Amino acid sequence: MRPIFSVVLAALSSVILLFILLPIATTVTLQFFNFDEFLKAASDPAVWTVILTTYYAALISTLIAVVFGTPLAYLLARYSFPGKGLVEGIVDLPVVIPHTVAGIALLVVFGSNGMIGSLSPVRFVDALPGIVVAMLFVSVPIYVNQAKEGFASIDVRLEHVARTLGSSPSRVFITISLPLSIRHILAGAIVSWARGISEFGAVVVIAYYPMIAPTLIYERYLSQGLSAAMPVAAILILLSLAVFVALRVLVGRENVSESQG
Amino acid sequence: MFLRVRAEKKLGDFRLNADFEMDRGYCVLLGPTGAGKSVFLEIIAGIIRPDRGEVRLNGADITSLPPEKRGIGFVPQDYALFPHLNVYKNIGYGLRRVEKWERERKVKETAEKLGIAHLLDRKPARLSGGERRRVALARALVIQPKLLLLDEPLSAVDLKTKGVLMEMLKFVQRDFGVPVLHVTHDLMEAVLLADEVAVMLNGKIIEKGRLKDLFRSKNEDVSDFLSARNLFLRVSEILD
């Protein structure tokens, strides 16, 4: 590589990295200069309840995405059928809809007068199920597309040979397709979980209460200002980073053992 | 006739229209790349459904049976070993209904016959090309198939290895007593292995019989393929 080219590459790349790291690092470091406030927030049970609610709701949403999204991903990766493009478009739809709009649309269906909300014994508005459906709506495209990519990366001939060796399509799915795409599935689940945790717009419309972390931070910012919102924001950053790194290491390790045989 | 196939299949611009039969024995299906040989094997294995026609094995109509009910062993061109399973589990994959001790005995016995008994703990990624071929063959044979389909089993190996592998194929067919349908574009494999030969061009079986009869064929396309065309193929392969 020409030296000038490498310098330009490095310079432009660092702009993006700095742009991502600077706000995050600053928010966290500032807590050291205001440690009392940080400790107060960190020892506030209300903060922890909110964080647990957030993680728990995102976890349920991810499990639903995995259970219902995996078959859909397999279908899209393996079969061609009339209207497949349309189905793929539907899966991607939540990505292009503004999230507050998604929240309104969900409220219309899951609200107490809505098609599902009026019939369901479960309450969605201002309740945990409402948070879950909002998180699911925005994160399920991410999961389905990741899993689809995983299935598509498997050579179909492996599945064909497994059939000739006496396996039904469902057994082929369980013994060949699923284990070979498990990394994509795990990675998809992690990203979809993270996406759920970070959702604010859709959740706040359908369920302001029980509060999730982004809602709490927004509320503290509006009512008490930046200095009140920052400690909670910093806690959420640190927690998210820890969980994210732990899971990446976990998936990464399986990746290594797979390639080493 | 042991195997009889009459099948039509349209795949994009390609049209397969094959009328084929073979006895129990070693049959080599010869044809240039793109003649439709792989599609034809996949129809016999049940992976592709023909648009029209029928597949009869041992007198029984198996046209509508799914691959798992046909009892036909299939070794595709790149062997398609399961990368997440070790050699033992690859070979034993088709024996899940068999009791564990029986499975162990069958896998070991087959592996020994094919000279891969020392590789049972390895993952496919750590096998050589020749070893992969043997594992794929063992995996197809261990289920005691009624018919063994081999798609270009000797492509991309050097001449010496080819000789060894050809002897192994001949041994396999006799020892396991399984009829073999072997697809290739290489005339030499037909000369050295085949009891019967069929020639496929542009999706059609255009000649069938013993090799020496084939060389006397009056069909211009056949003689063209067996002599000049085959030579051109070889030269173009060498130049590639």
**Cα atoms found within 13 Å of the Cα of residue A201, Cβ hemisphere only:** 14
Q: What is the pLDDT of residues A99-139, one digit of tens each?
A: 999 999 999 999 999 999 999 999 999 999 999 999 999 99
B15 and B63 fall within a common domain: yes
Q: Which residues in chain A have Cβ-Cβ distances shorter than 8 Å to B68?
A: 163-168
**Chain B CB contacts of A165 below 8 Å:** 68, 93-94, 139-140, 143
Mean pLDDT over each residue of chain B, to the nearest integer = 89
pLDDT above 80 (res B224):
no
Q: In what order do the strands lie in the sheet with B147-151?
A: B72-75, B147-151, B180-184, B26-30, B196-201, B204-209
Which among B42, B80, B143 has CB closest to A155? Answer: B80
CA distance B112 to A173: 30
A10 within some domain? no
Query: What gap in Å lies between CA A165 and CA B92, rounded to an integer?
Result: 10
- Classify B200 as helix, strand or coil: strand
User: Looking at the structure, do residues B152 and B202 belong to the same domain, yes or no?
Assistant: yes
Q: What is the pLDDT of residues B74-89, one digit of tens each?
A: 999 989 999 999 999 9
Reported as a single tens digit per residue, the pLDDT across B9-50 is 999 899 999 999 999 999 999 998 888 999 999 999 999 999
Domain match, B132 and B193 both: no
Contact B93 A164 (CB under 8 A): no
Predicted pLDDT of residue A260: 41
Query: What was the pLDDT predicted at B230?
Result: 56
Q: Which amino acid is at B192?
A: L
pLDDT tens string B112-165: 999 999 999 999 999 998 899 999 999 999 999 999 999 999 887 788 888 888
- Give B167's contacts (C-beta < 8 A, 6+ positions apart): none
ipTM: 0.90
The pLDDT score that the predictor gives to residue B27 is 95
Is residue A248 domain-resident?
Answer: no
Structural domains counted in chain A: 1
Query: Pseudo-torsion of CA A156, A173, B128, B75, nearest 10°?
Result: -60
pLDDT value of residue B237: 61
User: Tens digits of per-residue pLDDT, B186-205?
Assistant: 888 888 899 999 999 999 99
Q: Do A160 and B125 touch (CB under 8 A)?
A: no
What pLDDT score was predicted for residue A258? 45
Check if the beta carbon of residue B76 is closer than 8 Å to that of residue B151. Answer: yes
CA–CA min distance B67, chain A (Å): 5
The token pair at A94 is: 């939540």
Q: pTM for this one?
A: 0.85
Q: Is A153 on the interface with B (CB under 8 A)?
A: no
Alpha-carbon span B196 to A176, nearest angstrom: 36
**What is the total count of domains within chain B?**
2
Are residues B45 and B105 both part of a single domain? no
CB contact under 8 A, B80 and A176: no
Expressed as residue numbers, the domain containing B44 is 1-71+147-213
B interface test, pick of A154, A163, A164, A173 with most B CB neighbours within 10 Å: A164
Helical pair A128-152 and A99-110, crossing angle rounded to 10 deg:
120
Alpha-helix runs per DSSP H in chain A: 3-33, 35-42, 45-78, 84-96, 99-110, 128-152, 156-164, 169-172, 178-180, 182-197, 201-206, 213-224, 226-260
- Nearest-Cα distance to chain A for B132, in Å, is 14
**Residue B16 belongs to a domain with what CATH number?**
3.40.50.300
From the list A157, A258, A261, which residue is nearest B80 (CB)?
A157
CATH number of the CATH domain containing A93: 1.10.3720.10
Same domain, B63 and B182: yes
* Chain-chain contact of A163 with B46 (C-beta, under 8 angstroms): yes
Smallest CA–CA distance from B148 into chain A, residue: A164
Collapsing DSSP states into helix, strand and coil, what is residue A164? helix
Q: Is residue A261 part of a domain?
A: no
Interface contact A113, partner B, CB < 8 A: no
Residues of chain A with pLDDT below 50 are: 256-261
- Among chain B residues, the shortest Cα distance to A167 is held by B68
Query: Among A188, A98, A87, which residue's Cα sits nearest to residue A144?
Result: A188
The answer to the question of residue A61 being in a domain is yes
- Quick check: is A176 in a domain? yes
A-chain residues within 8 Å CB-CB of B126?
Answer: 261
Question: Considering B94, B119, B144, which residue would you say is the last residue of a domain?
Answer: B144
Q: CA–CA separation, B211 vs B191, rounded Å?
A: 7
Cα–Cα distance for residue pair A145/B154, rounded to 1 Å? 38
Domain boundaries, position A69: 46-211
